[in-house]
Amino acid sequence: MRRDDRPVSASARPDLGGVATWAGRRLQAALFGAPSLSMGLTGDGRIALAADALLAATGLSAGDLLGRPWEELLVDDLERDGARQRLLDALDSGVDPATVEVRLCCGDGAPLVVEWTLTARRAASGRVTAIACLGIDVTRRVLAEQERDELSTIAGMAGDLVAIAGHHARHDRLTGLLNQAAFEDAVTTALREAADADRRVALLLVNIDRFSGLCDTLGYGEANSVLQLVGERLVNAMGAGAVVARWGGDEFAVLLPQIGSHVAAERAADLAVAVLRHPIGVAGHEVRITVSVGLAVFPAYGDTPGSLIANAGLAMRDARAHGGDAASKYRSALGLRAFERLRVEHQLHHALSRGQISMHYQPVVSLSSGRVVSVEALMRWDHPGLGSVPPSTFIPLAEETGMIRQLGLFALRSAAAQHHEWRRRGLGELRMSVNVSARQLLDPDLPGQVIEALEENSIPAGELELEITESAAMNDADAIIGVLRRLAGMGATIALDDFGTGYSSLHHLSRFPIHAIKIDRSFTGALQDESGGALALSLISLAQRLHVRVVAEGVETLAQLERLRAGGCDDAQGHLFSAAVAPDEAADLLGRRWPTVISARRARANGGSWPPLQAGIRPSVIG
């Protein structure tokens, strides 16, 4: 027998006429003796011939398969939909040979993809009367192509993710600006290029003044909107070529890589201040902010990225220390000041353990009786090399470094012990006022420390007054209100210090358990002139409406005293009565009584003043 005459292993339906015979000859000529997934179909798509390999793959017998529509072999309804028409379309496509790829339903559940090469027998009219489908298994090829496509898709997605991650690694998510790391890279590049071209580079650090209070007032969602708008304004104002970044928190950085002169750099810094003074619209509200801007110029005031950024930071802190809403350029004096600050900070770490910190006490006098009703405990630092370090120097340092917690606890314990000693000596009942910092207020141990100080020294809780500054109270209002309510619930009284200098609203004040407010000395000083002091008197009136005690700080003259008393102020403290003095000197003041306001008015009318102001002696007791 010739090779072409070997029969293809197949089953056929004799009743389907010549279709099986015709298809068998066609398939035998093309694929004799090879494993074949071939079949022959009638013109209407019924199976007339099926290779044994096809039967084995589908798990069907010849009796089950022959005579059935061929699309029933397909894996699912999606494949079956329009399958017959796909064969006819392939035959009519004009492609020779016509092919079609199908997915068959295998008996073992494994995927089977078959590529059929189609040959049609047609009637004289052109109608298809039979189809020979020469089938080969292309499953491996198709799966490999799918895997390659999937890997390509995954690689594309991975590339996108890498790009997104790269963007996020260099950009601030809130504002979309460069972040600190990316900005530092930009500075490094700009300085290298500027050094080669002998150009100047300006760097600005921009800090939003009192932003924490703004967060408390607006809420963090709207405060974040402010940050976004600040970034947009800086980008628009600084112009092309400028690099704007969010430095972190409430700070932004601006790099001007091709600044023409120091004067141009200063103008840019002033512009940053000016554009951010304009009101910002947030959620239907008009928000006004100010900023502190620090400027450093390469190479004069920083010839490396680190020194340029550090010096701009020093200038920014200088602007902030002078009240904000201004720009400050770096100068060598700022560097010296920073070095001195570092030296003081180092010494402060040892001050407590070396016994250099002590407490002094300043009397608070009732304006109705002239008697001392309380004393304020004030910390003093005497260093053998630095001398007497002002509280305005070391207290902010302690706040920044976290040492204020140890110092605050020392002040609380020392003041409580001193109060106990004065009570033991029969020097009368009075309030002991102790300053508490924002960090202490957020310390969960504070209430326990207060209870311990009271119990160890047998002090009635009502004789301990805790003073907090208005700015500290607004720093994290919700958390601090909870702490203050707990302290007030223990019986301690709460005084709001430096009142009028912060940004609290009546709404916030009404939520605090406040027993007293202390009017800042800047308002008291204005009372010296008959035309001044309206704000101080308004604050007294406000306190009266809130039903809290009013204490005026910084009282230095009889004129101030007289106007405070006439305005309804309850108590006063200041150098008119006494500076803060050591415990023994303070003890001498506790039982004394200062002249009444009537006496003070008479002394003024006679052109005189109180003896202590003239002769430096303490006022005599008036009982």
Statement to judge: residues 501 and 578 lie in one domain: yes
Quick one: which of 292, 322, 311, 286 has its CA closest to 211?
292
Calpha distance 406→393 (Å, rounded):
17
Judge whether 58 lies within some domain: yes
Judge whether 617 lies within some domain: no
Tokens of 165: 């991650």
pLDDT at 163: 67
Calpha distance 564→551 (Å, rounded):
10
Statement to judge: residues 11 and 61 lie in one domain: yes
> Are 257 and 194 a contacting pair, CB within 8 Å?
yes
Calpha distance 54→40 (Å, rounded):
11
Calpha distance 611→619 (Å, rounded):
7
Quick one: which of 255, 268, 267, 332 has its CA closest to 298?
255
Calpha distance 175→131 (Å, rounded):
66
Statement to judge: residues 252 and 401 lie in one domain: no
Statement to judge: residues 489 and 540 lie in one domain: yes
Statement to judge: residues 356 and 320 lie in one domain: no
> Containing H/E element for 379?
strand 372-383
What's 16's domain CATH number?
Answer: 3.30.450.20
Statement to judge: residues 361 and 298 lie in one domain: no
Angle at 365 (CA atoms; ends 364, 368), nearest 5 degrees:
150
Quick one: which of 410, 433, 299 has its CA closest to 357?
410
Q: Can you give the pTM of this predicted structure?
A: 0.53
- What is the rounded (10 degree) CA torsion for 166, 167, 169, 172? 180
Structural domain that includes position 251:
180-330
Judge whether 173 lies within some domain: no
Calpha distance 276→236 (Å, rounded):
11
Taking phi first (over 0 means left), then psi (-120 to 50 degrees means alpha), and beta for anything else, what does residue 426 get? left
What's 234's domain CATH number?
Answer: 3.30.70.270
Taking the mean position of all CA atoms in its chain, how far away is CA 367?
47
Judge whether 146 lies within some domain: no
- Residue 10 phi, psi dihedral angles, 5° rounding: -155, 160
Tokens of 497: 């210090």
Show the beta-strand stretches assigned E in 27-144.
Answer: 39-42, 47-51, 98-105, 111-122, 128-137
Statement to judge: residues 316 and 356 lie in one domain: no
> Are 430 and 590 a contacting pair, CB within 8 Å?
yes
> Are 38 and 31 a contacting pair, CB within 8 Å?
yes
pLDDT at 450: 95
Judge whether 34 lies within some domain: yes
> Are 577 and 557 a contacting pair, CB within 8 Å?
no
Judge whether 342 lies within some domain: no
Query: What angle, 0 to 180 degrees and rounded to 10, lies between the N-to-C axes of helices 446-456 and 477-489?
Result: 20
Calpha distance 49→37 (Å, rounded):
11
pLDDT at 210: 85
Statement to judge: residues 416 and 550 lie in one domain: yes
Judge whether 12 lies within some domain: yes
**Where does a domain end: 137, 166, 188?**
137
User: Per DSSP, what are the bridge partners of residue 132?
Assistant: 40, 119
Statement to judge: residues 385 and 515 lie in one domain: yes
Give Cα separations from 289 to 209, 244, 281, 312 (angstroms): 7, 19, 11, 21
Judge whether 413 lies within some domain: yes
Cβ neighbors of 501 (< 8 A, separation 6 or more) are: 470, 471, 520, 522
- The low-confidence residues of the chain, meaning pLDDT below 50, are 1-8, 29-34, 597-598, 601, 607-623
> Are 39 and 81 a contacting pair, CB within 8 Å?
no
pLDDT at 100: 86
CA atoms within 13 A on the CB side of 562: 15
Calpha distance 308→18 (Å, rounded):
94
Rg (CA), the chain: 45
Statement to judge: residues 184 and 301 lie in one domain: yes
Beta-strand relationship, 464-469 and 493-499: parallel
pLDDT at 183: 95
Statement to judge: residues 13 and 115 lie in one domain: yes
pLDDT at 39: 86
Cβ neighbors of 262 (< 8 A, separation 6 or more) are: 200, 297, 300, 329
**Where does a domain end: 301, 330, 359?**
330
Tokens of 493: 């009284």
pLDDT at 337: 66
pLDDT at 422: 94
- Residue 33 phi, psi dihedral angles, 5° rounding: 65, 0
Quick one: which of 522, 422, 412, 410 has its CA closest to 467?
412
Statement to judge: residues 425 and 501 lie in one domain: yes
Calpha distance 416→533 (Å, rounded):
35
Domains held by the chain: number = 3
Helices (H), 42-97: 52-58, 62-65, 77-80, 83-91
**Where does a domain end: 330, 363, 392?**
330
Give Cα separations from 427 to 219, 247, 362, 376 (angstroms): 48, 55, 15, 16
What's 465's domain CATH number?
Answer: 3.20.20.450
